[in-house]
Amino acid sequence: MHSLDSLGSNLRPAFSGRLPTFISDSTTLVDNLRQHGLTACRYSELTTTDPSLLRDVVAIPIDFATTPPGPVIERHFGDSAMLVLPVASFCGTERGARYMLTFLNYIDLSRCIDGVQFWLSQLETAPRLRLVGGGTDVEVVLGDEVNLMSPKGNLAIQRGEWVSVAQYLEVGLVSSPNDQRPHHDMNGTFVAEGFVVAHHRLYADQIRQTADRTWSYLTNLRARNGGAPIVVDIRHSRPVSLTCGSESVLDEVLTFVDPNKREFITEFGFAATQWAVDVDWSINSQFNEAVGGLHIGLGNGVTGAHIDLVAPRATLA
């Protein structure tokens, strides 16, 4: 693991100046964190851990099968300030957890909050947004109503508040919860340099296999096309073509997502800020979803995979 010596202090602002305890179902990850001088424990040690150490926590679930169910989490952390790194929803590996922790060791969370506030102000005042860069050129006309994925508009996590790291990293807009139709009209060409694939804990025992197949399919698609980007043509928030190199594969890709979520782009999100880091696209990580620029999503990850295609160089025109 890369040096994480400043990880605890870097996260202090999110916990009102307090040092958090890191919790995971991975013994290897917990041991590594302890070796870096961080307070860490396994979920299996909760009953023997000083309760005062469970008031401010960074939760890193690796595998839903070995992560306690909701009632257990609520019993131990109902009044805790919790930052969640949902590794289990993405790659489900210790390598993926170390990748995210390495970036958290470096990220300036206050800069993320500034970025979140910037995008929220754009959504309030600019009904039409155009994003360009890296081949991407899309225009989004916002409707009278938008559904946001609860971005973190302030730095500190309060006691009793549970926050996903994504809430700091991005401002995401999603379709109506009642149907798949989005409250916006997106048109243009989207060029993705990378992708991530997620699945929800709900039905995870069935959907994890679909998510794994999706990741393998997209990885192999790019490999056999010499690492070419994935290009999506979008008309009225509908993906009308998806190509990689010489292959046109929209129908094939849509077989991996929810049957009732295939018609529209179900999400688009703005990265809170641009990070000057080396992105490892071989890791299926939530950090890569918001490393910069714009991303669009297909599917909701509950009854099919959720695919995020990422254009990190797209910026507001």
pLDDT mean by block of 10 residues, the chain; 317 residues: 77 95 97 94 95 97 94 95 97 95 90 95 91 97 82 95 96 76 89 96 88 97 97 96 98 92 88 86 95 93 94 94
Q: What is the pLDDT of residue 181?
A: 72
Amino acid at 273: T
Q: What is the pLDDT of residue 205?
A: 85
Q: What is the pLDDT of residue 274?
A: 84
| DSSP assignment of 32-65 | HHHHTT--EEEGGGGGGS-GGGGSEEEEE---GG
Residues with Cβ within 8 Å of 237's Cβ and at least 6 positions away in sequence, in order, are 182, 184, 185, 186, 264, 265
| DSSP assignment of 195-233 | EEEE--STTHHHHHHHHHHHHHHHHHHHHHTTTPPEEEE
Q: What is the pLDDT of residue 148?
A: 85
Per-residue model confidence as pLDDT tens digits over 218-249: 999 999 999 999 999 999 999 999 999 999 99
Q: What is the pLDDT of residue 3?
A: 65
Q: What is the pLDDT of residue 1?
A: 46
Residue 138's beta-bridge partner residues?
A: 131, 188
Per-residue model confidence as pLDDT tens digits over 171-184: 998 877 666 677 78
